[in-house]
Amino acid sequence: MKIIRKLALFLTIGWLSSCGDYLGIDDYFMNMTQLDSVFQRQELVAQYINGAASYLPNEGNLWTNSATPFQGASDENFTSWNDDRHAGIRYLIDEVTPFSTDYNNYSNYYTGIRKANIVLKRIGDVPDISDVDRRDYIGRCYFLKGYYMYLLLLQYGPTPIVPDDPFAVDADVETMSLERATYDEVVEYVRANMELANEFLLDSRESASEMNMPTKGAALATLSRLHLYAASPWYNGNPFYADWTRKSDGAHFISQQEKNEKWGIAAVAAKRLMGGKYKIFTSPTESDTPTFPGNVPTATFPDGIGSIDPFRSLTYLFNGEVPRVLNDEIIYSCTPTTAGDSPLWIAAPFQLGGGNGLNLTQDVVDAFYMKDGNDINSSSDTIPYPLPGTAASYTAIATAKSFSGYELRPNTPGMYNNREMRFYATIGFCHCFWPGTSYTGSEAVKNIEVTYYADGTAAPNQNYPQDYNRTGYTCKKYIHPEDNLKASSAIRTKSFPIFRYAEILLNYVEALNELDGSYTDEATGITVQGRDKNEMLPAFNQIRYRAGLPGLTDLPDRQTMRDLIKRERRIEFMCEGRRYHDLRRWGWDDADAAYNRPVYGMNVKARGNDRAGFYTITALNSVFPALARRSFSHKNFFCPIPKSVMNKNANLVQNPGW
């Protein structure tokens, strides 16, 4: 009778459903018998763990039907539509409130944590399971607990830490109304669970069906990124949050004491993944591998570009040419959807069956180096960059160039000539060549030179007048030369790298650049030394050499190196969902400079007979105000906690500015 009275109370005040949504309490009467049967068979336990993992976002769906706003709200791009399928743009143009339902992951992530806790509590009951499988199941559940909390931290900032043991069915509302933990407390929770995951998980997954499951490396890679973020200025002694405190004890949600040793922790976290099974992916030289400028070392990789084809090394990493099992750079991955979703559909032109609705900005394009490593604004006399607006910038190169299976068409303007390999591996521009060779029908939908003029080959279908590119640039990073949505059954399967080794190397370099003195990790015995050029330069230069660029021969001063690292991350991880987080963690100056400026692109209103008009860098805020009117303020460093969640927990405080 006591339980029934409690149940009636919960129903009356609306908390039974809220606990199920927010704190993840199983409906006691419906689920307990079912759970008892689950833990009698290994097969059912495996299914239950898969169910716990089903709340993980597909991080490879970057723009369309994405589970998070991170790529859609990046300064790298905007979409041609503001709708429920492309809601990330609403974060760019200030159309989000705590009442918004877009990207409401709060309850789901806690449900995943709760399910993982149930398995950990009852895994010992399973009779028909080997010790190896039991350990792996335990590791997967610790990983899920840590990863869901990491995802909560990314999106909402510091959030409540729920107890490992589910609340009793007759627990009162006050008991279940938890306060938010501090940022550092959440970091510690994630760290503890990922260390346990690292202890129990397998070193590798061999079968194709398990390639996206976490391994020890995935747990350590999460720690590397987590600790790098935690050491960064916005979360480490940031006075902006001086008045943001917890009700019960006055603790600052963001620590007000800057601790330089956090950079040491981040460096050690990256170092734990270095020198082992993971490495930068490269593809060997072939007969059509181009020659590179004389300032690029020709020693065998990783000491130079010798023995590798930089363009193929960059493209095969993402486009499905090489199976996931053969790619030693990818540490943890997922498989994005294809037809009707991102990234292929939104980036591809209409002729190839795409939506033609992804718009990269001029700032993104200008970030790439020339092929000799010089900035476009300080290019060399040997490989000059034509000044914007001059005839040389839009005049066609006239002679086709072919390298590494890539074709630069004769109509390509001078501003896209002689750029670094990552430019061609990433950017689709006006007069870019799209093979799409998997199509075998009679339509003229392959081997297309795509143009974004008002009357170009990528002009929208009359039935979909809004499906056109607004900047003259799209992303080709995840598109195989054979991919053609007109032959959707032939689309190459892709593995989206949630974590890859290049990030670990740049994490390490950044952490060492910011670390003062030395730091020793007691648990592992690893010692790192701040600004150790013998450690930093080889790690940094691997990224440069794989791109066919010259490396650094000496370590510059801290600020110069900081700027180089930031730019390298911008280029290397372009359209991988990382930029949004980097801008936030580096602080207001970086985010403000990136977002609160006009959005530039080509003048896509110009027709094909007006090349000078088209290749005029144009501020798009007035041309496409509904899509390119960016707004970024201090509130945007965290998403708002949904009002529906706030209503259920009186002890929660909203994120600043919301």
pLDDT one-digit tens code per residue, 306-347: 999 999 999 999 999 999 999 999 999 999 987 667 799 999
Residue 199 in any domain: the answer is: yes
- Measured between alpha carbons, how far is residue 556 from residues 505, 537, 564 in Å? 18, 10, 10
Place of tokens 């990491």: 150
Residue 32 has pLDDT above 60, yes or no: no
Q: Write the DSSP symbol of residue 125.
A: G
* Phi, psi angles (nearest 5°) of residue 285: -60, 150
Residue 124 in any domain: the answer is: yes
Residue 524 in any domain: the answer is: no
Residue 169 has pLDDT above 70, yes or no: no
Q: Write the DSSP symbol of residue 326.
A: G
Name the pairing type of β-strands 518-520 and 527-529: antiparallel
CATH number of the CATH domain containing 129: 1.25.40.390
Q: Smallest Cα–Cα separation from 364: which of 481, 499, 471?
A: 471
Q: What is the arithmetic mean of pLDDT over 63-71? A: 96
Q: Can you give the pLDDT at residue 6?
A: 37
Cβ neighbors of 9 (< 8 A, separation 6 or more) are none
The C-alpha atoms of residue 116 and residue 573 are separated, in whole angstroms, by: 31
DSSP result, 238-255: -GGGTT-B-TTT--BSS-
Q: Can you give the pLDDT at residue 439?
A: 95
In b/e form, how buried is each residue of 508-537, taking b as 16+ CB within 10 angstroms? bbbbbbbbeeebebeeeeeebbbbeeebbb
- pTM for the predicted model, two decimal places: 0.94
Residue 109 in any domain: the answer is: yes
> Cβ(52)–Cβ(141) under 8 Å?
yes
Residue 221 in any domain: the answer is: yes
Residue 118 has pLDDT above 50, yes or no: yes
Residue 7 in any domain: the answer is: yes
Q: Can you give the pLDDT at residue 342?
A: 75
Residue 549 has pLDDT above 80, yes or no: yes
Cβ neighbors of 615 (< 8 A, separation 6 or more) are 393, 394, 413, 415, 430, 602, 603
Q: Can you give the pLDDT at residue 176?
A: 78
Q: What is the arithmetic mean of pLDDT over 445-449? A: 96
- SS3 of residue 476 by DSSP: coil
Q: Write the DSSP symbol of residue 189.
A: H
pLDDT single digits (tens) 604-615: 999 999 999 999
Give residue 174's domain range: 2-61+104-265
Average pLDDT, rounded, for the chain: 93
Residue 251 in any domain: the answer is: yes
Residue 9 has pLDDT above 50, yes or no: no
Residue 14 has pLDDT above 70, yes or no: no
Q: What is the arithmetic mean of pLDDT over 20-24? A: 35
The C-alpha atoms of residue 353 and residue 349 are separated, in whole angstroms, by: 7
Name the pairing type of β-strands 406-408 and 401-403: antiparallel
- Measured between alpha carbons, how far is residue 567 from residues 502, 571, 575 in Å? 14, 6, 14
Q: What is the arithmetic mean of pLDDT over 175-185? A: 92
Outline where 482-641 has alpha helix (H).
501-514, 533-546, 558-572, 579-586, 588-595, 611-614, 625-628
Residue 555 has pLDDT above 70, yes or no: yes
**Count of domains for the chain:** 1
Q: What is the arithmetic mean of pLDDT over 405-426? A: 98
Q: Can you give the pLDDT at residue 643?
A: 95
Number of Cβ within 10 Å of residue 132's Cβ equals 9
Extract the tokens encoding 77. 């791009």
Q: Can you give the pLDDT at residue 16?
A: 27
Residue 13 has pLDDT above 60, yes or no: no
Residue 219 in any domain: the answer is: yes
- SS3 of residue 301 by DSSP: coil
The C-alpha atoms of residue 255 and residue 245 are separated, in whole angstroms, by: 10
* Phi, psi angles (nearest 5°) of residue 343: -95, -10
Residue 639 has pLDDT above 70, yes or no: yes
Q: Smallest Cα–Cα separation from 567: which of 428, 470, 422, 425?
A: 422
The C-alpha atoms of residue 255 and residue 236 are separated, in whole angstroms, by: 6
pLDDT single digits (tens) 224-281: 999 999 999 999 999 999 999 999 999 999 999 999 999 999 999 999 999 999 999 9
